Structures are given as C-alpha cells and as structure tokens.
C-alpha cells in the first residue's frame, strides 16, 4: 500500500478569524495544528498573501517557532517573501502566482517566463535546507522549466480539472498524466492541489507518481459539520491506497 502525503492548508481557518476585521483572536491556528499533529498529518500549508487577507506574518512566525508539523509556505516570487522565508525558515516553499483581485489562486505559475529569477531563489533557499516546489499547470514546457531551475517538486494545479466535465475533463486528465510522467522522469517530485474534495481526491490518487496533495478549502468546510479530526481521518484513508 502506498501512502500519499497530506498537507492541510489552514488559510481558511485564518479567514474566519479575519472576517470581523481582526477583532477576534479565534479560531486559533495553533489549536488546529495541534489537532492535525495528533492525526499525523504530513505538513501544514499556509499562504502569506500580499494583501494579508488570511494568514498574517505573526502566524508564520509562531507556527515556524513551534514547528509541530513541517511547514509548506506558499509564496509569490517577491523580495518581500524571500526575506520572510529566510527569516522564518519553513521546510518547503511553493511558488504560486498572485493577484490582489482574485478570490483564490486562479492558475499555475508561468515558470518559463521567469526562470532566471526563480532559479536564484531556489538556489538561495536550498543553501538554507529549504526545498522548493512550483505550482504549475500540467504543461510539459512548464515541467521542463521547473527542471531547468532545479526545483525539488512540481505541484499541479488541479482546479481546472475539478470543474470540467465529460470529454473536457478527460482531456485535462490526460494533460495531468503526461505532465506527471514527464516530471517523474526528470527527477521532480509530483504534488497536486486546488479544489480537491472527497470525490476528486479519490480520483487524483490515480495520477502517476503522485507523492503529495495539499487540500484546504474542502477540509475546512467539511469540518464545520464533521469536525477537523474526522475529516482528516477520511482524507488520510482516501490517500492510503
């Protein structure tokens, strides 16, 4: 039996805290991480966005200091975020595109357009024993660019595949399969994430060479009715194939 790693994105726990204009200190992210640690989740994922709509710098500081679980920090390729990474030393960084007006990350990072910049950041972080993944569309050219910059992993954006239906969904799945096979052949770890729920998580386990998924929104939404511990157990069961 192969176990696919589960990273739980806790951004939307912070969203609940922030929704009243920073007037509450609950729900406490650290309490959530304690629950996740008891369930032996593989890592927590957080995205410190430029607009600070959910995760705050103080959250990054406290979670990295306590380090109850490995930390995967999603980040824009900016000087500000480079400084944050070097200051707080997460275990992984995942480079993502970011626009202030978007509701959530809408697509993959165009690594090919900024290979030079990203290669320098990846090299800098590696010197500090911080590994790097690239959140990309399932594109062979983007996979090759990730290899060119010496990334450790690719995380395929599954949001488009989740929403498509019928023949279009099958075509997108073929792209995911081809990109995953290419990434593995190039020595890149294969990760996936965005929009995954119980059903689509079952389906994504069939992706060749998949080692890790990062799931946030669905887990937090299900937890409103089922509880965080129960939802995580269900996801872990799905990922143990």
- Residues annotated as catalytic are 47, 74, 194
Residue of 184, 177, 186, 93 lying closest to 135 (CA atoms): 93
Angle subtended at Cα 169 by Cα 166 and Cα 172, rounded to the nearest 5 degrees: 155
d(CA 148, CA 174): 23
Contact call for residues 33 and 69 (beta carbons, < 8 A): yes
- The b-or-e profile of 1-15 (16+ CB within 10 A means b, else e) is eeebbbbbbbbbbbb
The dihedrals phi and psi of 117, each to the nearest 5 degrees, come to -65, -45
Q: How far is residue 220's CA from residue 207's CA, in Å, rounded to a whole number?
A: 24
- For residue 149, what is the DSSP state? T
Ramachandran quadrant class, 144 (left: phi over 0; alpha: psi -120 to 50; beta: rest): alpha
Which residue, 31, 55, 53, is CA-closest to 45?
A: 55
Please compute Rg for the chain using Cα positions: 17
């Amino acid at each position: 039996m192969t176990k696919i790693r589960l990273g739980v994105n806790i951004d939307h726990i912070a969203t609940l805290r922030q929704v009243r204009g920073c007037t509450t200190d609950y729900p406490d992210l650290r309490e959530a991480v304690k629950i996740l640690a008891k369930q032996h989740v593989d890592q927590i994922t957080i995205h410190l966005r430029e607009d600070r709509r959910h995760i705050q710098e103080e959250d990054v500081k406290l979670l990295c200091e306590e380090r109850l679980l490995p930390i995967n920090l999603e980040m824009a390729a900016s000087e500000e975020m480079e400084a944050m990474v070097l200051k707080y030393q997460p275990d992984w960084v995942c480079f993502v595109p970011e626009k202030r007006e978007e509701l959530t990350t809408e697509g993959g990072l165009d690594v090919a357009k900024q290979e030079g910049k990203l290669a320098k950041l990846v090299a800098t972080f590696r010197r500090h024993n911080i590994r790097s993944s690239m959140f990309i569309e399932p594109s062979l050219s983007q996979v090759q660019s990730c290899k060119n910059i010496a990334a450790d992993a690719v995380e395929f954006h599954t949001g488009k595949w989740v929403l498509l239906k019928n023949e279009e969904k099958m075509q997108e799945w073929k792209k995911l399969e081809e990109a995953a096979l290419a990434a593995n052949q190039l020595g890149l770890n294969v990760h996936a994430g965005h929009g995954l729920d119980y059903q689509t998580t079952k389906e994504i386990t069939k992706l060749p060479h998949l080692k890790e998924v990062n799931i946030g929104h669905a887990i937090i939404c299900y937890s409103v009715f089922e509880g965080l511990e129960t939802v995580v157990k269900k996801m872990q069961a799905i990922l143990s194939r």
